[in-house]
Amino acid sequence: MKINDNCVGCGQCASFCKKGAIEVKGKARATDACVECGLCIPYCPVKAIEVTA
């Protein structure tokens, strides 16, 4: 998955990721722990998380 410029850094995705794979500081960033499960995507309030092909 990819986090685009819409991200405000609210951390909502980080609380739903079961792998602890999102770090947030002004913007969210997926770490190497991300397994591309896509679970976090619908929880973003500003549609900043995109599926990568």
Partner 1 sequence: MKTIVIGAGLGGLLSAARLSKAGHEVEVFERLPITGGRFTNLSYKGFQLSSGAFHMLPNGTGGPLARLLREIGADVDIVRSEMTTIRVPLKKGNSDYVKGFKDISFNDFPSLLSYKDRMKIALLIVSTRKNHPAGSTLQAWIKSQVNDEWLIRFADSFCGWALSLKSDEVPVEEVFEIIENMYRFGGTGVPKGGCKGVIDALEAVILANGGKIHTGQEVSKILVENGKAAGVVAESNKHEADLVISNLGHAATVLLCGEALSGKADAGYLKMLETLQPSAGIKICLAADEPLVGHSGVLLTPYTRRINGINEVTQADPELAPPGKHLTMCHQYVAPENVKNLESEIEMGLVDIKEIFPGKRYEVLLIQSYHDEWPVNRAASGTDPGNETPFSGLYVVGDGAKGKGGIEVEGVALGVVSVMGKILS
Residues near ligand SF4 (CB under 6 A): 1, 3, 7-13, 17, 19, 21-22, 24, 28, 30, 34-40, 44, 46, 48-49
37 contact, one of partner 1, ligand SF4, none, CB 5-8 Å limit per kind: ligand SF4
Nearer to partner 1, 18 or 53 (CB): 18
One residue of 26, 32, 52, 53 binding partner 1 per CB under 8 A: 26
- Residues 6 or more apart in contact with residue 41 via CB below 8 angstroms: 1, 49, 50, 51
